Structure formats: structure tokens, C-alpha cells
Amino acid sequence: MDFRRHDIEDLAGQVRSGGLSSRELTQHALDRIDATNHEVGAFVAVDAERALAEAADIDARVASGDELGPLAGVPIGVKDTEDAIGFRTTKGSLLFAGSEVATADSVLVDRLRQAGCVIVGKVNTPELAWKADTDNRVFGRTGNPWSLERSAGGSSGGSSAAVAAGMVPLATGSDGGGSLRIPGSLCGLTTMKPSLGRVPAGGPTPPGWADLSSKGVLVHTAKESAYVLDAVIGPDPTDIRALPMPDESWRDAVENLHAPRRVVWSPTLGYAVLDPEIREVCEAAVRKLEARGTEVIVIDDVFDEDSAVPWLMLSLTANLRVVEGAVTAGHGSWDDLDPALRSMLEWAKATASPTTALESSDTAHHLNLRLVELFHQAPLLLTPTVAGHTPVGADDGTVDGVQDIAWVRYTYPFNLTRSPAGSVCAGFTADGMPVGLQVVGPQHADVAVLRLLALLEETIDLDHRCPYEPGRLGAGGADRM
């Protein structure tokens, strides 16, 4: 059994038919975690006894002839920003390391559980999900299974690494500035940031990063993403941003694929500095799409300027509220924070004004107006997912020794605009690391994005499943040179 070579839909179907037991799948996940996690550092908490008991209950229901959900018996990891019964939600922060064990699931985890998933444990995230590299002062860093000294991305880096390394076939994630797309790109996965409100973020606690962050999942393929998302999308009365249930199944929508008539390709969005090799890999993938009959319109200046500051102000002030609340409640002090995060929060506190949030929202409005204009020319936009090579992740919380967002400038504009967006593996660099190609769609056009992600997988036709095994550096670096 290798989760990297088996489709989630097929695994769940075998469990429902009795051809494969949930206990077998769960035990395999536990064995794989035991064999690999000491190198990769994806899981930060595992409850084997609870997971095997959940799996046994599913198997008993199969034997009784009960009707089970579409994800019956599938073992999963939960990002450590999300509540799951029996686990602490530390958010990768010393401020929450001693928090109470959750007695209720988040809406997303509850829907996955109701669909039949078995919760194996929690996976790593940078502190308060604030950056694109996964390490923190509670659990340390997560390595990229393609090459363990490289970054797994963030903030859903534990999720992407767990799936890429074959520990579980599915893990939850969220994306407030690229936190699904960046780790998906770096770990060779196809992932999708749904439109804001597709996956509810309700419940008793107001969602953090409320107008930026969309919940989603990390899996290997677009069809798996569509299949899993079908089980969790739809309105929830506690989420004031929740969208209505789509008219069609997303899984059905990624069948019978056809190349779109036109797409826009933007190498820099008008402001990013793109590494030449990353550009070459992405443009080779775009040419393959063009060879299938799609007209490619090149528009480099999608936006007039970088929207990093408005995005940072929204995301940092959201985290500032979390930190100040925790400190006021006596859960720690500012000294407990990652020094780089503390510095950024202090900058935001000193810089923000009473109108900052409204000004950032105005920026989001104008960015979306530009996209509306763009999508009159073609219904989908392609860009690189990241601007540079996969960085080396450092134990001190830096990437290549600095805190710099220059290599992740392609994703956060589409959190500001709430656009559906995904990433697919476009190819590999000379040193064997995956390169992501981003697909962005108009408001609520999630299906169009999913269809193009699936078509690009078919068109590019790569084996993008990481061959990592314990005791090796992974497929990157010397192993692929």
C-alpha cells in the first residue's frame, strides 16, 4: 500500500464495499508516520488508539450494511490551526501550546468526519500561520519530502509534506495568502483555494483572517481535490460569508475535459521578479496547453503595483488581535513569539490607523475590477505559483537567512480579491524540485479552475508524486541530479 499511488475515491470505495478495511488504511498511515515523521516533521500530534477505534467503528458499520460517506475510512491529518476532538490546537505558538484539548471539531473537520474520515493527528504550521515556511518554536521545522533540507512551504506545510511523503492521502489546510498553493507547489501537489465561503469557517469562534483565508485540502490530484471538496462545501448558518451549494458536483465537472479557448499568461503580474528557470518550466507547460488549441494571451502588467502592504496589514492585524487577546488572558507574553513575527506585528501596530482596514478593502476592490477587465479577454489567468527556487528552510525561522516575501508574490493578490485559485505541478527544476503553475478564475468560478487544473495535469503528463522513503534525502538534490 502506498497512498501516493492510490486515488482517494478508490480507497473509500473499497472500504465501503468491504474490499479493504479502514483499520488497514489507518494502520498503514500510523506505520508510515512512525517510519518517516522523525525525518520530515509533518505530524506534531498522533493518537493511534483513537484513530484505530474510529477505523474499527467504520468497519463495523460496513459489516452491518450501513450507508457510509464518500470518504469512508480515509485517514487524514488536520492542520494545527483547526480544532479536532481530542487534540490541542496550538497554532504553532507557545501562547497556545498549553491550550485545552478540543471537545468539538471545526466545521471542516466535522464535515470530513461525517464523510467517513479517520482523524490520525495534527500537522505542523508556522506560528499563527503567518509565513510561507513551516517551522515554529513549539515543534520545530517541517522538511520537504522531495529534499529534506528544503522548505515544505507554508502555512499548510505540515499538510503538504504529510501527503507528499505518503503518510496520509489527505490533510486539511487553509489559504490566507497562498498557504495551500505555495506548499502544494513546493511539494508537487495539485491544490485548490476555493472561493471565500465555499468551505464554511463558522462555529463558536469567529474565523481568523476572516476576509482573506479560505479553507481547503491538500491531496495529489485535481480530481481528488474535487471529490473531497464535494463532501465539505456548502453553506453553514454560523458562517456569514458562506456561499450556496453549487448546482453541480465538482467531481463530475472534472470529467470530459476540453481545452479552454483562451487563457491569459502573466509571467510577473506586473511587479514580481521571476527566476529564469522557474519561468522556463512554467512557459513550457503553457506551450503544451497552447498545442492543444488554446490561445494564450500574454499580459505581463495585470496589476499596476504589488499589493503586499495592504495584504500584510490585514493579515498582521488579524494576528495582532489574537496575540493581544492571549497575552491579556495570561497565556504568555510577547517574548514567547517568534522574533521575526513579533517584529512584523510591532510594525503593523505602529503603522496601522483607524482607516487601514478600509483602505486595504479598497485595494481589494480595485484589484478585482482589474481582474473583471482581464477576464473579458479570457476566462482564466495563469501565473507561476512562486517566483523562485524552493528555499532552504532554517531552524531559526528564516528562509535562506532572511524574512522576505519576494519569492511568494504571486498568491496573496487573489486572497484580497477572494478569487478561486489553484496550483498544479508544471515540471521540475534541474535539481529535481517541483515547480507550480497557478490557475486563477473569476468570482465563484471554482469549477472552471478545477477543470483547467485537471486538464493541465493531463496535458503536462508528469509523475509528480514524491518518491521519498526514510533514510534518503528525497527525490531532490543529489538523488535526482
Catalytic residue ranges: 79, 155, 179
Contact 422, 190 (CB under 8 A): yes
Helix (H) or strand (E) run with residue 297 in it: strand 295-298
In degrees and rounded to multiples of 5, residue 365 shows phi and psi of -60, -45
Beta-strand relationship, 170-175 and 75-79: parallel
Q: In sequence order, what DSSP letters do the residues of 348-373 get, joined into one string? A: HHHH--TTHHHHHHHHHHHHHHHHHH
Instruction: Give the distance, in angstroms, between the CA of residue 74 and the centroid of all CA atoms in the same chain.
Output: 18
Interior CA angle at 399 toward 344 and 99, to 5°?
60
CA-CA-CA-CA torsion for 314, 318, 320, 323, nearest 10 degrees?
-160
**Angle subtended by helix axes 308-328 and 356-374, to nearest 10:** 140
Q: Which residues pair with 173 in a beta bridge?
A: 216
Closest CA to 218 of 265, 148, 165: 165
> Rounded CA gap, 437 and 281, in Å?
9
Q: Which triple of cell numbers denotes residue 456?
A: 493541465
Cβ 480 vs Cβ 431: under 8 Å: yes
Q: Which three cell numbers stand for residue 212?
A: 482573506
59 vs 65, 341, 436, CA distance in Å? 10, 45, 38
Please report which helix (H) or strand (E) contains residue 228, including its range.
helix 222-230
Do residues 187 and 164 touch, judged by C-beta distance below 8 A?
yes
What are 10's three cell numbers? 478508490
Q: How many CA atoms lie within 13 A of 5 on its CB side?
A: 4
Cα–Cα–Cα angle for 402, 406, 407, rounded to 5 degrees: 95
